[in-house]
A and B are shown apart, each in its own frame.
Chain A
Amino acid sequence: MANQKDVVLRHSYPARVAHWLTALGFFMVAVSGLGFFFPSLHWLLGIMGTPQLAQFLHPVFGIVMVLGLVVLFLRNAPHCLPEKGDGKWFQHTADILKGNEHHVVEVGHYNPGQKMLFWKIMGLTLLLLITGLIAWRPYFADLFPIPLLRLALVLHSVCGILMMFLVIVHIYMGFWYKGTVRGMLYGTVTRSWAKKHHPRWLRELATKGNKNP
Chain B
Amino acid sequence: MTQDIIQRSATNGLTPPPQARDFQQEVAKLIDTSICIGCKACQVACSEWNDYRPEVGHSVGVYDNPADLGPKAWTVMRYNEVVENGKLQWLIRKDGCMHCDDPGCLKACPVPGAIVKHANGIVDFVSELCTGCGYCIAGCPFNVPRQNPADKRVYKCTLCVDRVAVGQEPACVKTCPTSAIMFGSKDSMKVRADERISELKTRGFANAGLYDPEGVGGTHVMYVLHHADRPELYSGLPKNPSISPLVHFWKGLFKPLAAAGFIAAFAAAALHYTKVGPVTEDDEEGHHG
Interface residues of A (CB under 8 A from B): 36-40, 42, 45, 51-52, 54-56, 97-103, 135, 137-138, 141-142, 146-147, 149-151, 153-154, 157-158, 161, 164-165, 168-169, 172, 175-179, 189-190, 192-193, 195-197
Contacts and interface: CB of A to CB of B under 8 A. Distances in A.
Interface stretch (B21-29, B172-180, B275-283): B275-283
A142 B68 CA distance: 13
B247 A137 contact: no
B266 A168 contact: yes
Contacts of B49: none
B287 A100 contact: yes
Contacts of A54: 131
A175 B279 CA distance: 9
B41 to A, nearest CB: 29
A63 B247 CA distance: 26
A39 B143 contact: no
Contact of A98 (B247, B255, B288): B288
A42 B112 contact: yes
Contacts of B131: 45, 51-52, 54-55
B132 interface: yes
A192 B110 contact: no
A154 B135 CA distance: 10
A177 B18 CA distance: 52
Given A38-B259, A39-B11, A193-B281, A138 B149 contact: yes
6 contacts: A39-B110, A135-B134, A146-B137, A150-B246, A177-B279, A177-B281
A103 B287 contact: yes
A176 B273 contact: yes
A165 B265 contact: yes
Contacts of B138: 146, 149-150, 153
Contacts of A193: 281-282
B280 A178 contact: yes
A42 B132 CA distance: 15
Contacts of A153: 135, 138, 250
A172 B250 contact: no
B54 interface: no
B152 A55 contact: yes
A54 B138 CA distance: 19
Contacts of B262: 164-165, 168
B143 A146 contact: yes
A164 B71 CA distance: 36
B152 A151 contact: no
A113 B187 CA distance: 64
A45 B133 CA distance: 13
Nearest to A98: B288
Contacts of B10: 39, 42
Nearest to A157: B250
A195 B111 CA distance: 52
A85 B38 CA distance: 74
Pairs of residues from A and B, 7 with the lowest C-beta to C-beta distance, nearest first: A39-B10, A179-B281, A193-B281, A192-B282, A99-B288, A55-B131, A154-B250
A161 B261 contact: yes
Contacts of B277: 99
A137 B287 contact: no
A90 B89 CA distance: 69
B230 interface: no
Contacts of A101: 279
Interface string B124-146: 00000101111101101001000
Contacts of B11: 39
Contacts of A97: 272, 276
B289 interface: yes
A36 B244 contact: no
A164 B272 CA distance: 19
A192 B137 CA distance: 57
A59 to B, nearest CB: 11
Nearest to A193: B281
B278 A176 contact: yes
B278 A178 contact: yes
Given A153-B138, A153-B250, A176-B278, 20 more contacts: A38-B255, A39-B12, A51-B111, A51-B131, A52-B132, A52-B152, A54-B131, A55-B131, A55-B132, A98-B288, A99-B277, A100-B288, A137-B132, A138-B149, A141-B147, A161-B258, A164-B262, A176-B272, A192-B284, A196-B282
